[in-house]
Chains A and B, each alone.
Chain A
Amino acid sequence: MSQPDLEGIARRAVEAAQSAGADDAEAWVEEAVTRQIRVYEAYVESLTDAGSRGFGLRVFLDGRSGYAYGTDLSDEGASALAAQARESAAVADPDEFGGLPDEFGTAEVEGLHASELAGWSTERKIELAVEIERAARAHDGVSQVEDTVYADADGSVALANSRGFCSSYEASSVWAYASVFAGEGADLMTGLGVGLGREPGELDPRAIGDEAAERALALVGARQPESRRCPVVLDAFVAASFIGFIGGMLSADAVQRGRSLFAGREGEEIASAAVRLVDDGVDPEGPDSAPFDGEGSARRRTSLIEDGRLLTFLFDARTARKGERETTASASRGSYRTPPSVGTANLLLEPGDADLEELVRRAGDGLYVTDVAGLHSGVNPVSGTFSVGATGRLIEGGELGSPAREMTIASDLVSMLKAVQAVGSASRWVPFGGSVKAAPLLIGEMAVSGA
């Protein structure tokens, strides 16, 4: 199915909603061809080749809104969807701030779709995955490569509404990871290597395999450390997880509903001067970049924290009206199954100038954390206090020392942000906690609980 078809489907769904009596309506249509290849011991463990499509319709009626989604894109399907969405709206309470945005637009974003993807045969992609696995297994001390996965998606999105907006775009993405074990029995430790891009040629299979192996090997022999308060270096993976969580707390929706620890703190210092955080919806490399957001506002770049000061929250049309602000084009769509809600696009933690060695040297005696577990159950989203499981290595005399496990690190998010002494220079895209480009962080002090 080609793009104009998607726009046509979106327009017809909007018309169906209007015929069903909606004051305003908006349709989001998605189509994607996806492939996932899982290899194990150099054979194909599973190969998935699939096409999927679906659409969601949001209607507004007497100040109320309702949403319905489905997979039957025919005209009859659109009519059924319109009736369903209208029925949903009937049980909603009126919302004085609801409704479509007042302005629409699209941004120019280069390189969302890489035509090279289509040129890759399944066989070459399998080879790529096998090469990742081989690179990981080549390291002495690796006891198992549990899982190696290559995946890609070639998709199109169209959005139309009853105010005349109608646009679409194509985007491609590829990602791969390997999960590796080093050591045996009670001493077994795990490591993950990841890579992402727009087409397979952007993936470096050796680097992904090496990373997984090296991360696991660095932890072999880990023991539970003594409890202490000390400086902590978070590697880029871990920093990305925290940054993603913080990004969620900067949603104006969370703020307006009293569910964010950052409520009422716009303009205040919430972090050390070393911290600069941006949400960029148009970064050409950004996995979540797009010309428009989930309700047709032109995507843009928004500075969130500069020199430690909180500049703004993230707004969609509804929260902007309620807060008497402008949208930051932050209406995001998980998929066609859900109506738009405020969310981050691509969070960028601006890198500093210290390499990892320098951060570790400055930490002196402390802890280098390469993995955290339980972030979403371990952080109180309202107060920001957290205690999460951690794995990594001790830092002794300014150098990486013995590996450590079965411990927690604890602080609260604002204290942690204020205690950032330096941001590392090596920033990278990490597909956890949303789409985040992060660098290592040196934190002045955290509570480490072990034995």
Chain B
Amino acid sequence: MIAPELADDLLGRALARGGDLAELYVEERTGLALTLDDRRVERPQSGREIGASVRVVVGDSTYFGHVDGLGEEDLRRVADSVSQAVAGERRRPAALKAAEPREAYEIAQRPEDIAAADKAQILHACDEAARAAGSEVAQVSVSYVENRRRVQVFNSDGVAAADDRTRVRLGAQVVARRDGTVETGHETRGGHAGFELVSANPEEVAEKAARKALTMLDAVDAPTGRMTVVVGNGFGGVLLHEAVGHGLEADAIHKRASVYAGKLDELVAPEFLVAYDSGAEAGEWGSDGIDDEGTPTQRTTIIENGRLTSYLYDLLRARKDGVPSTGNGRRESFRHLPIPRMTNTYFANGNATPEDLIEGTEYGLYAVSFGGGQVEPATGDFVFGLSEGYLIENGKVTKPVRGATLIGNGLEALKLIDGVAADLSIATGFCGKGGQRVPAGVGQPHVRIQSLTVGGTAA
């Protein structure tokens, strides 16, 4: 990593021909990935990448360059080259405040201190646990990934910040087969945490994945049409992420590419609904100490008592709106520009129980888990593929269903929420936007939506 004196010199060079903001971002990323497939640990991968990027913002234009390695000559060259895109008067950056290295969250067991063989042992234990779950389990794959990102951010407003981010993730995929029917089940556990997160009862992850696959062997084709949908806690929150969260990112708002533009302070949901985006939840997957522009992460209330209360900002868009950044300026790596991104996005607890929500449903779908989802922020139209779901008939969960897809519109669906349970949990997701993939936590308690279109495969 680099010294403040060098950072100061580079920021000065970047502003050689003026600019409203110059920024230096430095990153060292290390990681290890192990996969077990077909009973064997294979394709172990480890890596180390170091680099930096420089950006200069002038009005609404951003000029950006990045370089591998931290050679002083290379860094000066990239700062000089970026500055050449600007056509103004030299400006001096503000004096840097002292950077305080910040380990935001306690890492009980540093993953790099654990022998690789112990990590491989977890994969084998998961494989055995999944296979023991039933004779119809046909194939198991398990993956373990750890990574550490050490970042420094310096800018011409005097920001000097650093962060040290460690994430681990254990995932299992199980294939179950009965006669001609084949089903898969997935489960993951991950967080901004150390090895302790995955070494405690790792078998549970594999058992859950196996149970999903085995259950789905009995699935019937999903029904089609509009019906009540009870969405499960944890990864069910991907619905909020897709249908609402993306539309609150300030870049979409500024380009009128969001149905939520101009809706601040309006009632967009029932009055009992509260939702947050928070990058400051200890240990959660989408949490960091600072965002990738040096702004400390925070909890932002996005919906309070049904009213839209905030958009999600990075520095650029915040400056334009005359508000402080909400700490949502994130980037995949030093090779990418920061843009407004969610961190952990979730509905707050209500006061129902999951049982209340299901018992009060005459006919509908219980959507426990999704394979993923997609939204067009400009229209709010969303699509989610179910990976685990059941029919609800006369207030009871009955048969599992396969091939269900939920489609709808975010603004409409929000208004149709009529019940929220008190069992909030946050799951691990990856969010893609503008060609950048970042870890994002998605969460919620059980939530019921009065009416949603289910696209099934049943005639």
Contact = CB atoms under 8 A, between A and B. Distances in A.
Interface of A: 40, 43-54, 56, 65-72, 80, 84-85, 87-93, 95, 143-144, 146-147, 181, 186, 188-190, 224, 227, 229, 257-259, 261, 337-339, 373-374, 376-383, 385-389, 391, 405-412, 447, 449-451
A242 to B, nearest CB: 15
B405 interface: yes
Interface stretch (B177-185, B360-368, B392-400, B417-425): B177-185
Contact of A382 (B40, B183, B225): B183
Of B47, B182, B370, which is in contact with the most chain A CB atoms at under 10 Å from its CB? Answer: B47
A62 B443 CA distance: 45
A9 B89 CA distance: 42
Given A68-B47, A381-B184, A52 B335 contact: yes
Interface in B106-162: 116-117, 119-120, 138-139, 141
A47 to B, nearest CB: 5
A52 B453 contact: no
Nearest to B53: A50
Nearest to B45: A67
A72 B69 contact: yes
- For the complex of A and B, 10 pairs with smallest distance between CB atoms: A408-B455, A377-B372, A389-B383, A377-B385, A377-B371, A374-B383, A449-B455, A88-B44, A378-B385, A93-B40
A89 B61 CA distance: 47
A147 B255 CA distance: 9
A380 to B, nearest CB: 7
Contacts of A386: 403
Nearest to A411: B457
B122 to A, nearest CB: 11
A339 B60 CA distance: 40
B342 to A, nearest CB: 18
A50 to B, nearest CB: 5
7 contacts: A72-B50, A337-B45, A374-B383, A377-B372, A447-B224, A447-B457, A449-B456
B321 interface: no
Interface of B: 32, 34, 37-51, 53, 60-69, 81-82, 85, 116-117, 119-120, 138-139, 141, 175, 177, 181-184, 222, 224-226, 255-257, 259, 335, 337, 370-374, 376, 378-379, 381-385, 387, 402-405, 407-409, 453-457, 459
A446 B260 CA distance: 34
A447 B120 CA distance: 45
A410 B184 contact: no
Given A374-B384, A377-B384, A387-B455, A47 B63 contact: yes
B250 to A, nearest CB: 14
Given A44-B61, A383-B183, A407 B407 contact: yes
Contact of B182 (A56, A95, A146, A382): A382
A190 B378 contact: yes
Contact of B255 (A53, A146, A376, A411): A146
A67 B44 contact: yes
A48 B51 contact: no
Contacts of A53: 68
Contacts of A186: 259
Of B120, B181, B222, B403, which is in contact with the most chain A CB atoms at under 10 Å from its CB? Answer: B403
A180 to B, nearest CB: 10
A248 to B, nearest CB: 15
A388 B383 contact: yes
Contacts of A65: 42-43
A229 B337 contact: no
A338 B45 contact: yes
A177 to B, nearest CB: 11
Given A89-B44, A90-B117, 18 more contacts: A43-B61, A47-B64, A68-B47, A69-B45, A69-B47, A69-B49, A70-B48, A85-B46, A92-B44, A93-B40, A181-B378, A229-B459, A337-B45, A374-B385, A378-B385, A381-B184, A382-B183, A410-B455
Contacts of B222: 387
Contact of B41 (A40, A92, A227): A92
Contacts of A88: 32, 44-46, 116
Contact of B60 (A43, A54, A70): A43
B41 A410 contact: no
A408 B454 CA distance: 8
Contacts of A387: 222, 385, 403-405, 455-457
A409 to B, nearest CB: 8
Contacts of A85: 46
A336 to B, nearest CB: 9
Contact of A144 (B47, B68, B255, B387): B255
Nearest to B173: A259
Contacts of A450: 453
A92 B33 CA distance: 11
A157 B44 CA distance: 23
A49 B51 contact: no
B139 A410 contact: no
B407 A71 contact: no
A392 B456 CA distance: 19
A46 B50 contact: no
A447 to B, nearest CB: 6
Contacts of A409: 455
A46 B64 contact: yes
B181 A383 contact: yes
Contacts of B39: 93
B44 A408 contact: no
B47 A376 contact: no
Given A92-B44, A374-B385, A408 B65 contact: no
Contacts of A69: 45-49
Nearest to B213: A382
B81 A49 contact: yes
Contact of B62 (A45, A188, A190, A377): A45
Contacts of A66: 44-45
A374 B257 contact: no
Contacts of B37: 257
Contacts of B181: 383
A54 B68 contact: yes
B255 A40 contact: yes
A87 B257 CA distance: 48
Contacts of B119: 91
Contacts of A50: 53, 64-67, 335
B182 A389 contact: no
Nearest to B124: A93
